[in-house]
Chains A and B, each alone.
Chain A
Amino acid sequence: MTLLAVEDLRIDLGTGDDRHVAVDKVSFEIARGETFGLVGESGCGKSITALAIMGLLQRPLAIGGGSIRFEGRAIENLSADELRRLRGKRLAMIFQEPMTALNPLLPVGRQIAEMFVLHEGAGWRDAERRAIDVLARVRVPAPERRARDFPHQLSGGMRQRVMIAIALACSPDLLIADEPTTALDVTVQSEIVDLMRELCAANGTAILMISHDLGLVASMCRTVGVMYAGRLVEVRSSTDVFKAPAHPYTCGLIGSLPRLGSRAALGRQRLQEISGVVPSIADFPAGCRFHPRCERMTSVCGVEEPAVTMLGEGGLVRCHHHG
C-alpha cells in the first residue's frame, strides 16, 4: 500500500523575475514499511524535497506545483495545525548534525518525553519513564543516567542515537533521515545505520534516506533514486543500480569512486572522471541537465528534455541514450 506519493513535484526558489526552479518533475512512491534512498551531490535538491514532504519549506523556497500525498492526503492542503500533529507522530525526521537539532538547554530525556506529552497526551512523569525505555531501545548505555545528560555531554554517535529515539518515540509511519551519519566515523555510522534499519523493520516504519553516499544508501534501502540538478534521473532497486546503472550520471558516480577490493582484483585503474562541475541553480542547462558533462551527449541532448523510460522491476531512467 502506498504510504507516500510524490507526484511531479516542483519547488521554486524566489518569486517573480527572481524565480528559479530548484526541483522539477520529481515523482516517486514509498510503500508502507519500505526503504527508499535519494542520492545526489550538494545542491541537487534532495534535502529540500525532504523538507517539502515534512511541510517545512520556508521562504524563499515554496512548492510550485505537483503534489505530495501522505496516506492519500495532500500535504500542501493541510493546515499548520494538522501538519504539526502529523509531524513527529506519523512523519519523523533525523538531521545531519544532531548538535544543532537538539535543544542544548534541556536534558535529552526530557526532549524525548516531550514527544509523548505532545502527541499522546501523557503526563510528564510517565513520559520521562517511557523516555528511558526508548533510550534503552536505541542502545544508549546506562539510560537512566544518560536521560539526565545535556546534549553537549554526549558523543556525536550518542547524540544521533538520541535523535533516533526522538524520531521513533511515537512509532511513526515514515522516517526521513537526511545524511544521518555524515558527521560520524565509519564504525559509528555502521552501528547507527544497523540500528535504524532494525528498529524501523520491527515497527513497520518506512524510511526515506537522503545521502551523497551511493554505497551507504544502497546497503540500507531497497530502492534508490538518483537526483541531478533538481531532477530525478534514475530510480532502481539497489542491486540493479550497481549491476546495471542506466543513466550516464549514475554510471559516472559508480565508476568514479575506488571500490574496496577492486585494486586487488584488477590492479590500480585510473578512476573514471566526470568532467566539469555541478551546475548552479541559476543556470541549469537546457535539455538534459547533465548533457554538458555527459560522455554520451549528442545534439538532441542540449535541445530536448529526455522523457522517462520505464525499466524492469519499477525502475525508470530519464536519458536519451540510457544503457
Chain B
Amino acid sequence: MGDGALLLDVEDLAVEFHVGGRLLGLGGGARRLRAVNGVNLSLRAGECLGLVGESGCGKSTVALAILGLVPRTRGVISIDGMSIGAEASIDRRRLARTVQMVFQDPYASLNPRQTVRRTLADPLRLHGVTNGGEVEDRVADMLARVGLTADHADRYPHEFSGGQRQRIGIARALILRPRLVICDEPVSALDVSIRAQIINLLLELKESLGLSYIMISHDLGVVEHMSDRVAVMYLGKIIETGDWRAIFERPGHPYTRGLIAAIPDAFAPPGIAADKVRGEIPSPFDPPDGCAFHPRCPIATDKCRTMPGPQLRRLADTHDVSCWLAS
C-alpha cells in the first residue's frame, strides 16, 4: 500500500476566515481567524491518511479546501494532476468525479424528499450518463456494493436505520467512481454495535475499488485500524505526521502522546497519566507565542515559550515532528 502514484498534493495551504466586522456600523473591524496555516499533505493512490486533532484544529477545513468548498488564502492543491487554482477556474464537475465526501451525520446529509434511486441517479445524469439502462445498472451495482438491495432504491431516507443511511451516504459518494473519498467522522453518529459494519465496509470498498481515503476522526482506535499514514493537527498546523505504526508506537510530539493517553482504557499501562494534556485548545484568534502547544504541554521549556514555533523536522524515515524536544 502507498506505492501508487501521487494522487493528492497539498502545499503550504492556508485558509483564513474573517469573522465579525461591522454589522450595522457597530463593533470593531473583522478579526482574522487562521483556520489552516501552512499545511503540507500528500497522498498516494490506494492510501488511507488519518487526520486527527481536537475540534477547532482545522481538520475539516483542510477537507473543505480540498473539495474546493472554501477559498484558499495561500497554497497549491493538486489532485490527480488537476490543480485547484483560483476559484473561478475550478472545473467543478471534474473535481466531483475525483473527490467525494462521506459526512458524519447520515440523518442530516441525505435529502429527505428524494428516494435513494434519485439520490444516486442524479449525479450520474449530471455527469453525462443519460442512458436509462446504464443509470439503472450502476445504481443497482452500487447498492449491492454497499450491502443494500435493489428494492431499497424506491424508499426514502426515513425508512432506513442509521447504519443503512450511512451506507446510502457511502453509495452516493462512490457513484461517480471518484479516486479520493474524504470521510469526516463517518461512524461517530452511529450506534456502537453498527460502527464495525461501516468500518468493515469502507475497508472492503477501498480494496475492491482501489480508493484512497482521508479519514477524519477523533477516535484514535478507528484511525489506527484504518490508516496507512496519520497526520496530527493542532491550531491549524500539522504537528506530527508519519506511518501509522510510528505515530502509535513511537509518538514524537507530546500532543500526540496526550491524545493517546486521553483514550479511556481500563487496562492503560501505569505511567501513561503523565502524558495527559491539560486545559483546552487556545483561541485561534489569539494563538500563543512560541510553540502553539506550550501552554498545555507537560514538558515545555523556556525555549518552547519564547522561540518562534518549531517547524516539522524529520525524526525518522517518513516520520516528521514539530517539537524542539522530540528525538
Contact = CB atoms under 8 A, between A and B. Distances in A.
Contacts, number: 118
A59 interface: no
B55 interface: yes
Interface string A191-226: 101100000000000000000111110111000000
Interface in B140-195: 161, 163, 191-195
Interface residues of B, number: 39
A190 B275 CA distance: 12
Contacts of A253: 192-193
A186 B263 contact: yes
Interface in A210-257: 212-216, 218-220, 238-239, 242, 249, 252-253, 255-257
B280 interface: yes
B97 interface: no
A256 B193 CA distance: 7
B280 to A, nearest CB: 5
B200 A268 contact: no
A271 B196 CA distance: 6
B265 A187 contact: no
Given A258-B224, A268-B225, A278 B193 contact: yes
A274 interface: yes
A256 B195 CA distance: 7
B242 interface: no
B161 A274 contact: no
A273 B220 contact: no
Interface stretch (B26-34, B254-262, B306-314): B254-262
A272 interface: yes
B264 A264 contact: no
A309 interface: no
A314 interface: no
B278 A261 contact: no
A96 interface: no
Given A185-B218, A274-B193, A278-B193, A260 B200 contact: no
Interface string B214-257: 00001011101100000000000000000011001100000000
A157 B199 contact: no
B195 A186 contact: no
Nearest to B222: A258
A272 B196 contact: yes
A299 B55 CA distance: 48
Nearest to B164: A277
A268 B195 CA distance: 16
Contacts of A185: 54-55, 218, 280-281
B277 interface: yes
B195 A260 contact: no
Contacts of B197: 273-275
A193 B265 CA distance: 12
A103 B280 CA distance: 23
A275 B192 CA distance: 12
Nearest to B260: A260
Contacts of A270: 200
A263 B281 CA distance: 29
B225 A242 contact: no
A216 B264 contact: yes
Contact of B266 (A158, A239, A260): A239
Contact of B196 (A215, A238, A273): A273
Contact of A186 (B200, B222, B245, B262): B262
B88 interface: no
Contacts of A145: none
Contacts of B268: 219
Given A257-B221, A261-B224, A264-B224, 17 more contacts: A42-B191, A158-B280, A185-B54, A185-B281, A186-B263, A187-B258, A194-B276, A212-B191, A253-B193, A256-B192, A257-B195, A260-B220, A263-B244, A264-B248, A271-B225, A274-B194, A278-B191
6 shortest interchain CB distances as A-B pairs: A258-B225, A256-B196, A190-B262, A271-B196, A218-B266, A216-B264
12 contacts: A42-B191, A155-B280, A186-B259, A187-B258, A187-B259, A188-B280, A190-B263, A257-B192, A257-B195, A260-B220, A272-B196, A293-B193
Interface of A: 41-42, 155, 157-158, 185-191, 193-194, 212-216, 218-220, 238-239, 242, 249, 252-253, 255-264, 268, 270-275, 277-278, 293
